[in-house]
Amino acid sequence: MTSSALSAPRLRSVTRRIEPVEDPLSYASPDDPTVWSRRGDMLVGWGRAAELPAGASAVAWWRAVSEVAEVDDKVRMPGSGLVAFGALPFDPAHSSSRATLTVPKMVIGRRGDTSWVTHVFTDGEPERPEPQSIPFGPHWSAIVGPGACTPDGYQTEVRAGLAAIASGEVAKVVLARDLVGSVPAGSDLRRLVRALASAYPDTWTFAVDGAIGASPETLVTVSGGTVTARVLAGTAARGADADADTAASVALATSAKDLDEHRYAVQSVLTSLRAHTTALVAEPEPFMLKLPNVWHLATDVEGTLSGHASALGLVEVLHPTAAVAGTPTSAALEVIRRVEPFDRGRYAGPVGWIDANGDGEWAIVLRCAQFDVHGDGDIALTAHAGAGIVAGSDPETEMLETRVKFRPIVDALA
């Protein structure tokens, strides 16, 4: 579908400050929450004023929507005004999952001490009452077990990846395994969002069209012409005590295998962004990012936007990075398609929000589960975790790394 063929809805958004909201999450839908949160800042969407038509380009559709929208924003903070929330599949050409980009009818926002509400109206729609919080439903727990790829099967996957590296097909490939399960019908999925946000406050906690997780990896942020990204590649489990934890971080910081894996990921981001930025810089050496369950090698990247690219446009340029696919990217995708026994869906794809100015925050769908929020009965779920495979990778060690990466979502589901 071409941009000229898009029929953009004419939207009017009105954003006003409100009294501080103690718990924005209580305004989200219990069975299909839309949430974006980090360090206490939160955006919560409710309802659907407009959504991306099937088969349409997300970039072109959002540009068309923004061009004809009337935006009345008295708050002017990141996430205020007209906003759409999106989640995109990892491998659009080979996935049954489709891209979603939705403009809620209402967004409750909170940044620091400022709270606001944005109402979005279609042509002729009357004013609506102020939002009301929804009481949380009872606690629940999930049933989770092996998926299409068992732990032993994952080691076979890794050996296949190592064979592709040895043959020169790729230098790095990221391979994943899955868990499947369900939660009881009628479960209040906001409880999972709350558990993840509480346990992992420094991550991007998200809930978009059934994809719920706590991602440590910023794909790209655009704000007032500044572009930032955080690259994570190279992982070690936290130690059981202070001495073991220090030893784990030192081992990761000095691991030639993990440093090589990280270097590939940083270079893929820099290469993708150079054509769209000026003054692009990255730290010369990675730093150690400490999360409750793991250490990561991390590098922050920053530049100045050149031209008219939006956050969503840069998402399309960047994805997939070497951190979630491999190097070279096209060859790594072919290995993933050949070796993994499942469709990743939105796992390792982009998730985030964009406003009418093209600014936004986007992360990678990690430490997550995808829920079938559109089905009947018990709610089916699929979770994924992966590891970067390079020359020298050990199949059992990589399998144990995926076990550590499953912990955030598995613990929260329990």
User: Among the options 217, 340, 398, 401, which is catalytic?
Assistant: 217
Using the CB atoms, write b or e for 342-361: b if 16+ within 10 Å: ebbbbbbbbbbbbbbbbbbb
The residue type of 91 is: D
Alpha helix ranges (H) inside 182-307: 190-199, 242-253, 256-273
User: Among the options 51, 172, 398, 405, which is catalytic?
Assistant: 172
8 A C-beta contact, residue 372 and residue 310: no
- Catalytic status, residue 51: no
- Catalytic status, residue 405: no
Backbone angles phi, psi at 265, to 5 degrees: -65, -40
DSSP assignment letter at 274: G
Q: Which residues are known catalytic residues?
A: 172, 217
